[in-house]
């Protein structure tokens, strides 16, 4: 098994891998540096060499291999099948191999991170990248000179690609593997490209697992407390505010830890003994009141009333 496949299989156990070729820096004689700790796309792209002396050259080209039909990442599939021998050969000249890159969920997300760190970005296909690399200084006039009519949308698209400093190449797993291998090797060997990054879109299972962990971390994070800092009558800030806020945060963290320890072995029931006793008393009171009212209703009085009472001694 070659070194490229070993690196990719090690990386895909937890996150997306990334192989970096940096222009203007000699390749290490001992091979690429293997970085196993987690790194996000912002940190990865900000570490690239962006000193671009040639204004027409590209600061970076980022190849992102798409997912397979089953949702798994596609770069390890290409490497294991042996369809990219040129990239496997260039792997020895790489500067860095990152085994755990976070945030590689789509080309759009990577393009936003690249625009934040490297400059103007354009998302392109393999064919568009090949055309860009073959003629960096291609203009619309040269295209129109060939008597080829193009729409305004196509003109805008070509202008955006021509002015972009960074290209994010969307590589489909169903494309011709030989063309993919040739394009990556051409980008590495080209003097018009300062940096080349080869990575893959994270698998669907990894993205779902990462989002689940993010939700769990958000729920378990302690809530922020309001600052207890006092202000003077003139509105100046009291210097003891930060100390009081830190003490409040520490107290909250300690209370959360104590609560977690106290909750061990506690079982939740539908009602407490006090609630159960109150319910029994309520039903007993209702039953007693109903019985008393029923008994009082059974008492009968005089039904016939006369206007003249009988004489004394003659009641019978």
pLDDT reported for residue 1: 41
Query: Between residues 313 and 31, which one has the greater pLDDT?
Result: 31
Give me Rg for the CA atoms of the chain: 38
DSSP 231: B
pLDDT above 90 (res 285): yes
The answer to pTM > 0.75 is no
Query: Taking the alpha carbons of 279, 280, 283, 289 in that order, is the dihedral positive or negative?
Result: negative
The answer to whether residues 124 and 161 touch, using CB atoms and an 8 Å cutoff, is yes
> What percent of the chain clears pLDDT 90, i.e. is strictly above it?
8
The span from the CA of 124 to the CA of 104, in Å, is 17
Query: Across all residues in the chain, what is the average pLDDT?
Result: 75
Exposure string over 290-314, b if 16+ CB within 10 A, otherwise e: eeeeeeeeeeeeeeeeeeeeeeeee
Of 126, 139, 212, nearest to 175 by C-alpha is: 126
- Quick one: average pLDDT of 158-167? 84
pLDDT, tens digit (0-9, with 9 covering 90-100), for 97-112: 888 888 788 888 888 8
Query: Between residues 231 and 245, which one has the greater pLDDT?
Result: 245
Could you give phi then psi for residue 62, rounded to 5 degrees?
-115, 115
The answer to whether residues 163 and 58 touch, using CB atoms and an 8 Å cutoff, is no
The first and second tokens of residue 183, run together, are 């394009």
């Amino acid at each position: 098994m070659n070194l490229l496949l070993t690196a990719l299989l090690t990386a895909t156990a937890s996150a997306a891998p990334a192989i970096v070729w940096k222009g203007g820096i000699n390749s290490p004689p001992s091979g690429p540096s293997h970085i196993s700790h987690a790194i996000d796309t912002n940190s990865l792209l900000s570490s690239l060499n962006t000193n671009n002396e040639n204004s027409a050259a590209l600061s970076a080209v980022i190849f992102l291999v798409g997912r397979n039909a089953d949702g798994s990442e596609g770069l390890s599939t290409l490497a294991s099948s042996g369809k990219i021998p040129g990239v496997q050969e260039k792997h020895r000249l790489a500067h860095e191999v990152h085994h755990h890159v976070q945030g590689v969920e789509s080309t759009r997300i990577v393009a936003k991170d690249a625009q934040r760190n490297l400059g103007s970005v354009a998302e392109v296909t393999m064919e568009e990248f090949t055309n860009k690399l073959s003629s960096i200084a291609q203009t619309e006039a040269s295209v129109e000179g060939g008597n080829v009519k193009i729409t305004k949308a196509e003109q805008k698209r070509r202008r955006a690609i021509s002015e972009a400093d960074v290209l994010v190449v969307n590589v489909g797993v169903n494309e011709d593997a030989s063309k993919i291998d040739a394009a990556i090797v051409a980008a590495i060997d080209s003097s018009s490209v300062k940096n080349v990054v080869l990575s893959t879109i994270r698998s669907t299972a990894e993205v779902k697992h990462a989002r689940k962990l993010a939700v769990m971390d958000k729920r378990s994070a302690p809530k922020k407390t309001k600052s207890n800092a006092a202000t003077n009558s003139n509105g100046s800030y009291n210097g003891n505010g930060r100390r009081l806020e830190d003490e409040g945060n520490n107290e909250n963290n300690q209370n959360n830890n104590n609560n977690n320890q106290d909750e061990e072995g506690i079982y939740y029931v539908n009602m407490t003994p006090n609630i159960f006793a109150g319910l029994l008393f309520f039903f007993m009171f209702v039953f007693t009141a109903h019985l008393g009212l029923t008994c009082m209703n059974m008492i009968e009085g005089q039904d016939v009333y006369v206007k003249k009472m009988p004489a004394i001694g003659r009641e019978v």
